Chain A
Amino acid sequence: MLGMTAIAVVRLHRLFGVVILFSIYSLLSASIFVALDAVDVAFTEAAVGAGISTVLMLATLVKTGRIEKRSGRHPLLPLVVVLITGAALIWGTQDLPGFGDPLNPVHQHVADRYIEQSPIEIGIPNMVTSVLASYRGYDTMGEVVVVFTALVGVLSLLGFSGSRGEKSTARGPNQPTPVLQVMAIPLVPFILLFALYVQFHGDFGPGGGFQAGVIFAVGIILYTLTFGLDEALALIPVSVVRIIAALGVLVYAGTGVVSMLSGGAFLDYSVLAKSATDGQHYGILIIELGVGLTVAAVMILIFFSFYDKAFRK
């Protein structure tokens, strides 16, 4: 099914259909992730792939036109290149270890330690969260900085000032549609509430800062899409969101500095409280909060700039 959707995405020339199919494709791959035990990943993929990237691509299409021009180039050459590369890769898989085998090399290195020691050392049940926030805290901090940098790039490219435009443009999304608004009103608060649940329950169940940030942003995006950008800007001013985006990174890195000042290594949370597991627990909560703040603010701002670009100018 995933393959079929992918083929359809490749073949279609109407880009609107392509984007919607891509959204379905993301949802399908999220269900595959669930089947493969990666609930945290599935969560993220469903919110990001089926939600945010679809909206961003649609906003770009408003600007760039929704029909792909049929190019005069012959598709044979790329097809041959792809077939040869694919064949080489398939041939290469012969040497790879089989699916699901517990003796695979990938399970031999540090995974055992994570699985056996993390409940004792960190004291929280969700291993994905403890690996994400504690064992590989440097990595995750890097990712947060990358997300933040992407925001800086988007803002400088699209030049979104956050000023409220005059309400003259008679494009569809700027005209309030009462049916959608009535539907959105009960949904938005629950989406935001769910985001908070995901944020703070990430230690015990699937969830955490990345998912929560994305889901929170989706709530705001739904509000913006139904009520218009001006209403949303009145609700959350851009200057505040900008500060929050930077604040999240600061909270993350600041936690590392505080643990250094308390006598540990950078991002070593064990020193933050009297017992090591308590310290780990606090540290993870705080940096997940930082991640959530940054991701939510970045996604909201990126969406605002795309929406602004698509419908205002």
Chain B
Amino acid sequence: MSELFSLFNYWVVVFLMMCGFYTVIASGNLVKKIIGLNIFQTSVFIMYISVGKVTDGTAPIVSADFSVYSNPLPHVLILTAIVVGVATTALGLSLVSRIKDAYGSVEDDEILDADSDERGSK
């Protein structure tokens, strides 16, 4: 049973990942798609961090009181990934903003309709 429970962290990750994935493919709203992508992204973060955890370990800051540390490498990767993530999210949101300017909508079916109308009228 404990062996089964030791994979619990991956199940949480998969669940969150699928929540994000579902939002991306099921929702037509571009802002919500970006939020879905963010949830997907966070699930990957949690996966990396949980892989780096060592039982009874502590935060990887050297101290005389501790000898077991968690793996610092995933922390470094995810730390930078979060900041890059917000930068790319900002880029995505500004694209959405421009799409709103150009089409007057952020729903993907309305945008596709507008596109096909344009092509039909040519």
Docked CA distance A126–B70 (Å): 12
Say yes or no: A151-B17 contact (C-beta < 8 A), given A38-B78, A49-B82. Answer: no
Q: Are B32 and A18 in contact (CB under 8 A)?
A: yes
Q: Contacts of B93 on A, CB cut-off 8 Å? A: 56-57, 59-60, 306
The answer to whether A153 and B94 touch (CB under 8 A), given A29-B42, A36-B70, is yes
Q: Do residues A73 and B28 form an inter-chain contact, with CB atoms below 8 A?
A: yes
Does A107 count as interface, using CB distance less than 8 angstroms?
yes
Report A199 CB to chain B, min CB distance, Å: 14
The answer, among B52, B83, B84, for a CB contact under 8 Å with A36, is B52
Kindly state whether residue A125 has any CB partner on chain B within 8 Å.
Answer: yes
The answer to whether B28 touches A69, judged by C-beta atoms less than 8 angstroms apart, is: yes
In the complex, per-residue mask of B40-58: 1 if CB is within 8 Å of any chain A CB, else 0: 0010011001111111011
| B116 CB within 8 Å of chain A | no
B21: chain A residues at CB < 8 Å are 82, 85
Contact B38 A38 (CB under 8 A): no
Give per-residue flags for A134-163: 1 if the beta carbon is below 8 A from chain B beta carbons, else 0.
001001100100110011011001100000
A214 at the interface (CB under 8 A from B): yes
Number of interface residues of B (CB under 8 A): 83
Interface residues of B in 1-30 (CB under 8 A from A): 3, 6-12, 14-23, 25-30
By the criterion CB–CB under 8 Å, are B82 and A44 in contact?
yes
CA distance A204 to B60 in the complex (A): 11
B87 close to A298 (CB less than 8 A)? yes
Expressed in whole angstroms, the minimum distance between the Cβ of A268 and any Cβ of chain B is 18
Task: Give the Cβ gap from A235 to chain B, nearest Cβ, in Å.
Answer: 22
Contact B54 A100 (CB under 8 A): yes
Interface centre among B25, B83, B97 (most CB of A within 10 A): B83
The answer to the question of B86 belonging to the interface, with a C-beta cut-off of 8 Å to chain A, is yes
Stretch in A7-15, A172-180, A187-195, A272-280 touching the partner = A7-15
Q: Give the B-binding residues of A (Cβ under 8 A).
A: 2-3, 6-7, 9-10, 15, 18-19, 22, 25-26, 29, 32-33, 36-41, 44-45, 48-49, 52-53, 56-57, 59-61, 63-65, 68-69, 71-73, 75, 78-79, 81-83, 85-86, 89-90, 93-94, 96, 98-102, 104, 106-107, 110-111, 114-115, 119, 125-128, 131-132, 136, 139-140, 143, 146-147, 150-151, 153-154, 157-158, 204-206, 208, 210, 213-214, 295, 298-299, 302, 305-306, 309
